[in-house]
């Protein structure tokens, strides 16, 4: 998960969605190289409700309190539940193409290094320069803390830790030799390699961390239950529509499946294990 920061118009606080009467406000907090997918899904959601739909790029997770629908990482969703009822409800999440995903809404974080480096295992990275996308990313940050905790390691494992801002930037930093390694959302990495085949010649995956429950599409609790049911149904039906099927295949997605709060207990557990090990932060 990564945030591509961008100015976002003011958010309205209307509580109802009526056909044609207002805009369904959607925001993505995920990787920029899949923005086109979130745009498409946003349009389909608006069509289902018979209203205008607008997608913006989220700047801060505080905006979850104002948008109607969001594409968001599981870790900030879990963080939003800390103080009682969260502002949003998980609706659905993608099941990715590939045997490694076991027909479940899960994903991995692939640890990448330059192909010409001497690193062969995660243990070899002790003292290296590490890049992550942003600190509320499960794929780039949360899973790394958890992995270090399971290994009995602490904050001093990496020699230097640098925030890249988003996954694609972290990939570029490894390619350029600015950092030694990074954990990248495997879905984002696959899309990046397809767009830039040269990456496969420059990079090597030395470990896969996870799985974690994949990023949900969430809806604001200020929307009526009827509207939230309609939104979930739209997501679940996408794979049965021929036009949407082509878009999902391009995004390496089989289908969307329903998810609920309990699906993200794995991320809660990983966060708790990291915190108990003194790894609330990597540095």
- Taking residue 103's Cβ as centre, other Cβ atoms within 10 Å add up to 12
| pLDDT of 5 higher than 80 | no
- CA dihedral (204, 208, 213, 214) in degrees, to 10, reads 0
Q: Are 8 and 59 in contact (CB under 8 A)?
A: yes
| Closest by Cα among 101, 98, 100, 75 to 86 | 75
Q: pLDDT tens digits for 119-177?
A: 999 999 999 999 999 999 999 999 999 999 999 998 899 999 999 999 999 999 999 99
Q: pLDDT tens digits for 177-210?
A: 999 999 999 999 999 999 999 999 999 999 999 9
- pTM of the shown model: 0.91
Contacts of 51 (CB under 8 A, 6+ apart): 17, 18, 19, 20, 21, 22, 23, 24
- Taking residue 16's Cβ as centre, other Cβ atoms within 10 Å add up to 10
Q: Are 145 and 282 in contact (CB under 8 A)?
A: yes
């Amino acid at each position: 998960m990564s945030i591509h920061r961008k100015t976002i118009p003011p958010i309205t606080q209307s509580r109802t969605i009526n056909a044609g009467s207002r805009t369904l406000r959607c925001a993505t907090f995920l990787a920029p190289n899949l923005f086109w997918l979130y745009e498409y899904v946003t349009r389909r959601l608006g069509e289902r409700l018979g209203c205008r739909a607008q997608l913006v790029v989220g700047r801060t997770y505080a905006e979850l309190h104002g948008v109607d629908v969001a594409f968001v990482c599981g870790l900030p969703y879990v963080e939003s539940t800390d103080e009682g009822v969260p502002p949003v409800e998980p609706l659905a999440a993608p099941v990715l193409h590939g045997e490694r995903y076991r027909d479940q809404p899960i994903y991995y974080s692939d640890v990448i290094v330059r192909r010409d480096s001497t690193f062969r295992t995660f243990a070899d990275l002790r003292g290296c320069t590490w890049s992550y996308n942003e600190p509320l990313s499960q794929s780039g940050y949360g899973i790394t803390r958890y992995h270090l905790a399971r290994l009995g390691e602490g904050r001093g494992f990496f020699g230097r830790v640098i925030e890249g801002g988003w996954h694609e930037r972290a990939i570029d930093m490894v390619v350029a030799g600015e950092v030694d390694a990074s954990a990248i959302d495997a879905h984002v990495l696959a899309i990046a390699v397809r767009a830039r085949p040269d990456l496969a010649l420059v990079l090597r995956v030395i470990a896969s961390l996870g799985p974690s429950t994949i990023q949900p599409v969430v809806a604001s609790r200020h929307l009526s239950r009827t509207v939230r049911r309609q939104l979930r149904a739209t997501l679940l039906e996408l794979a049965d529509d021929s036009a949407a099927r082509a878009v999902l295949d391009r995004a390496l997605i089989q289908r969307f499946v329903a998810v609920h709060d309990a699906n993200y207990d794995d991320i809660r557990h990983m966060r708790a294990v990291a915190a108990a090990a003194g790894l609330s932060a990597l540095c």
